[in-house]
A and B are shown apart, each in its own frame.
Chain A
Amino acid sequence: GAVVSQHPSRVICKSGTSVKIECRSLDFQATTMFWYRQFPKKSLMLMATSNEGSKATYEQGVEKDKFLINHASLTLSTLTVTSAHPEDSSFYICSARDRDRIHEQYFGPGTRLTVT
């Protein structure tokens, strides 16, 4: 149980284009999902908290117009990187919190974004 998927696993896009990343909880309902960014050899950095049916809460320094988050259902959250630039290249990871185990987060496999 507690499986989270992400799609795509890798994406290469050109500067100025937008990229959408999907995060799904496959066998449980997640009222809350989280989006992280990870730089090489670094720990995970929380970008935003996504709550089903409401607006996402962004961490300080994260542009909400740049990183659009939609949590339309209890099993799906999407992150759209708008007008991507090379500095947006990174490893993006989502996690989902089982509403019955509120302190445990289960992570997706991550999405490697490369902006050329």
Chain B
Amino acid sequence: GQQLNQSPQSMFIQEGEDVSMNCTSSSIFNTWLWYKQDPGEGPVLLIALYKAGELTSNGRLTAQFGITRKDSFLNISASIPSDVGIYFCAGPPLGNEKLTFGTGTRLTIIP
């Protein structure tokens, strides 16, 4: 079945640092979604991307839909404590309404 691989699996950074993570697929996606999940909560949609090459921002977050349609990137600038959590990429593979989720990137901020 479909697999979305996220990298890195975990990150330990200091407050104020920028963060980059990516998601790759073995097949083409026509939509990329980025979610953040806090412990014991459901995922919250951060950014939705619909076109290859699209670059979209939401505050300090910026995400890009890769040109090949098989990858996506999420950047967080000037991280703050509330950015801690698990970030998931997700998307419906071409011709499918169901979401496939990435393996997740766990972000931890070191005091």
Binding site for B on A (CB under 8 A): 2, 4, 6, 32, 34, 43-44, 46, 49, 91, 93, 95, 97, 102-110, 112
Contacts and interface: CB of A to CB of B under 8 A. Distances in A.
Interface in B60-111: 88, 90, 92, 97-99, 101-104
B59 interface: no
7 contacts: A6-B42, A32-B97, A102-B97, A103-B31, A103-B50, A107-B43, A109-B42
B44 A107 contact: yes
Interface in B32-69: 33, 35, 40-45, 48, 50
B98 A34 contact: yes
Interface of B: 30-31, 33, 35, 40-45, 48, 50, 88, 90, 92, 97-99, 101-104
Nearest to B106: A41
Given A34-B99, A43-B103, A49-B98, A107 B42 contact: yes
Nearest to A110: B42
A95 B35 CA distance: 13
Nearest to A10: B40
Contact of A46 (B45, B48, B99, B102): B99
Nearest to A101: B48
A44 B101 contact: yes
Contacts of A109: 41-42
A104 B41 contact: no
A34 B92 CA distance: 13
Given A34-B99, A43-B104, A103-B50, 13 more contacts: A4-B42, A32-B97, A44-B43, A44-B88, A44-B101, A49-B97, A93-B43, A103-B48, A105-B33, A105-B90, A105-B99, A107-B42, A109-B42
